[in-house]
A and B are shown apart, each in its own frame.
Chain A
Amino acid sequence: MTVPNDCNQLGREVEIGQIEVELKRLWEADEASTNASLINFAVYSEDASALSQNSDTVREITSEHACRAILIGVDCEESEVSMRAWITAHCNLMNGNKSVCSEQIAFHLGGRASGRLSNTVFAHLNSDLPLVFWWQGELSERFNDRLYSLIQRLVIDSSEWQDPVAQFEKIVPAMQEYNLVVQDLSWTRTYHARLAIAALFDDPIALTAIPAIQKVRVVTSPEGRIAGLQLLAWFAAQCDWRKASELIASESVADSFHFEHSHGGSVEASVVTDSDSAAIGLIKIDAGDVQFTISRSKGNQVLHLNMEAQGHVSEQSAPADSEDVVGLVRDQLSRGGKNSLFRKIFPVFIDLINGTT
């Protein structure tokens, strides 16, 4: 049986059948702590060595989000079917003297026996509280209806995926049939960019320029490509554009699209990747007499907003999106809700991504 690296960090190893009893003992042993939980927060990885690192991640997250954390590390390559569990608590001082703790159960699953994930692991959820499930890496065959029927909110990071088209195909039935709330960290990475675009269009001159938009160009890092496509899908959905047909991809512009305004005018749009770019490095909107640019240098935490109209230039700065994954997850947990905006743009995004290679 493979032992996860640094399993001491995971706390005390316990028998699977004794987890709840041992957790109770843990709390009884420390009268100074308050056990708090607002969500069940599961972190799943098929890299079993990620358990220790994820424990550190959960420690950071619980400083803002009290939860019952369930870490799952799966090693499918193990020949022997096995399961081990550890318990611990992450405690944070509140108001200087009161310790508020979130309990954590870590599972290491070896071998390919199916059913243990939903049967054994999910038997330890805190009832009545929503389950937020952070799936790290590619969605495997374990991502099936038996699993996602138990989840209220799925956190993914599509920037890690090798084949986003195939991966999103697995998400669609979960969203349609089980009303699963999907929170893609790629989408979270566009949050401040979207705010910046909206801020530019607060200007009455900018607002009247929307029907005249002819061209949109988004430059992203290679990892930011999906974020760029989601940003474009959002912009198209908000402007009520209809995708007309795919343009023939050129060597330099892989993701090119042709939209139509509701009044019939056409818009050319592209998402270009550049290894020197920030995740979202440039958004350029051409509306004839009015030009908009939002730019961000790699490593910079600020967005530069620029609007030029009839000789008038307006410039602003705005905060940029975090590229720290833990920060993004924390943001997602703070937001809650049904992510209805993502659900709105999702069909447009799927249409875009299916039209690319």
Chain B
Amino acid sequence: MGDCWSRVIVEKPFGTDLATAKHLNKVVNNTFAEEDTYRIDHYLGKETAQNIMVLRFANAIFEPLWNNKYIEQVQITCAEHLGMEGGRGGYYDKAGALRDMVQNHLLQLLSLVAMEPPTDLSADGVRDEKVKVLRSLRQLDTPELIKENVVRAQYTAGHVDAKQVVGYREEDRVDPESMTEAYVALRVHIDTWRWSGVPFYVRMGKRLPKKATEISVHFKAPPNVLFNAIPGAAAGGNVLVIRIQPDEGISLRMVSKLPGTTLRMEPVKMDFHYATSFGKGSPEAYERLLLDAMAGDATLFARRDEVEEAWRFIDHIEKAWHESEKAPEMADFVAGSWGPKAADDLLEQDGNSWRRL
């Protein structure tokens, strides 16, 4: 029997809050040991998500800059152009954007971007570092903090892909008086030496203009001397973009001189596309993850403590929204636009703005 094994793959949702996640973990672990439990997060199976660690730790040029001395802000965006087609309103209206996407996929991406170098590439070596990030998230544990740092919204009727679409509350199987968010934007701080003072902006929304998931790392602008002191110099610092989907790849924006006798500068970008550079598409995330589970490699799966730490962070927000008497408002935005004005204001308070996708 030495070569035999039994493993369980658990698909999200891993509970609906910290208590139910703990209960689910307990139930699963009554039958399966933690090392045989594979909590699947298909974002981690995407090539670019896997490549975050390679980019950071196999290249010498990025890691020295990967801290609060050189990075101004990080944005993680998951934009969906779909709404509640195919009857998904029934599930979604009970979950919402925060539980459906942020608790799992986006916090996983955040932990990959923000983690310290692991001691080795073993599953627990990597997951130990990821969970430290989740533990270091500054908890938004009062309604006031949530009001300052989180925006929730629903879409109203508008146009997406040139088609007229209804508002969230008019969607099939959605409660007409629903208080479930179809859009959420958060300002997150990670209280570590590396990230002190660097805001991480996370947003997820349905019925946005296009489908795209990406991480953008915005480096600080160079000092206002030399080229940057010239009137009309190109504004803005370097931006490293890690595209998770579609068109997985990485790009780096930099400033370049325009050819000619006068000194004029414009942003340009170096772009790497997986599909074109390697001549073949990436395997489907689930293919890779199922293969890993069969091979017993849990590196790309969420561990129990990761899930619970993520829920600990999310629970404060959910409670403030649904149980507090001082619940922050539900904003709205026209379907097909890039979200509510309140989300723009969230970044504007820090002198930043959402990156145009």
Contacts and interface: CB of A to CB of B under 8 A. Distances in A.
A119 B258 contact: no
Contact of A83 (B162, B241, B259, B334): B162
Nearest to A150: B356
B270 to A, nearest CB: 10
Interface string B317-341: 0000000000000000010110000
A125 B356 contact: yes
B2 interface: no
A122 interface: yes
A86 to B, nearest CB: 13
A13 to B, nearest CB: 13
B337 A115 contact: yes
B357 interface: yes
Given A115-B336, A122-B209, A127 B241 contact: yes
A154 B212 CA distance: 27
A115 B357 contact: no
A115 B159 CA distance: 7
A17 interface: yes
Contact of A119 (B209, B262, B276): B209
A38 B271 CA distance: 11
B261 to A, nearest CB: 11
Interface stretch (A236-244, A293-301, A321-329, A335-343): A335-343
Interface string A120-162: 1011110111100000000000000000001000000000000
B159 A119 contact: yes
Nearest to B335: A119
Interface string B19-33: 000000000000000
B161 interface: yes
A222 to B, nearest CB: 32
Interface in A1-53: 16-17, 20, 24, 27, 38-39
A119 B268 contact: no
Given A113-B159, A116-B162, A120-B160, A338 B232 contact: yes
Contacts of B234: 337
Most buried by B among A20, A113, A120: A120
Most buried by B among A116, A123, A129, A150: A123
Given A17-B161, A116-B159, A128-B241, A335 B337 contact: no
B231 interface: yes
A129 B355 CA distance: 11
Contacts of A119: 158-160, 209, 334, 336-337
B253 A120 contact: no
B266 A130 contact: yes
A120 B267 contact: no
A20 B210 CA distance: 10
B264 A336 contact: yes
B161 A340 contact: no
Nearest to A122: B209
A120 B209 contact: yes
A174 B340 CA distance: 21
Contacts of B160: 119-120
Contacts of A83: 162
Contacts of A116: 159, 162, 336
Contacts of B231: 338, 340
B159 A120 contact: yes
Interface in A310-357: 334-340
Contact of A128 (B164, B209, B262, B267): B267
B285 interface: no
Contact of B258 (A20, A27, A150, A336): A336
A118 interface: yes
A347 to B, nearest CB: 16
A116 B158 CA distance: 9
B336 to A, nearest CB: 3
B239 interface: yes
A335 B261 CA distance: 10
A335 B241 contact: no
Most buried by B among A118, A120, A128: A128
A38 B356 contact: no
Contacts of B253: 128
Most buried by B among A113, A129, A150: A129
Contacts of A334: 258-260
B356 A118 contact: no
Contacts of A150: 356
Nearest to B161: A17
Nearest to A15: B161
Nearest to A340: B232
Contacts of B163: 16-17
A335 B162 contact: no
Contacts of B267: 128-130
B53 interface: no
A38 B231 CA distance: 22
A129 B357 CA distance: 10
A42 to B, nearest CB: 13
A27 B241 contact: no
B232 A337 contact: yes
B265 A337 contact: yes
Contacts of A17: 81, 161-163
24 contacts: A16-B163, A20-B246, A24-B247, A113-B159, A115-B158, A115-B334, A115-B336, A119-B209, A120-B161, A120-B336, A127-B356, A128-B253, A128-B356, A129-B268, A150-B356, A334-B259, A334-B260, A335-B262, A335-B264, A336-B265, A337-B232, A337-B258, A337-B266, A340-B231
Given A334-B258, A334-B260, 11 more contacts: A24-B247, A81-B164, A85-B162, A115-B334, A124-B210, A127-B241, A127-B356, A128-B241, A128-B253, A130-B266, A335-B264
Ranked 9 nearest A-B pairs via Cβ: A338-B232, A119-B336, A123-B209, A83-B162, A17-B161, A337-B264, A340-B232, A16-B162, A123-B210
Interface of A: 16-17, 20, 24, 27, 38-39, 81, 83, 85, 113, 115-116, 118-120, 122-125, 127-130, 150, 334-340
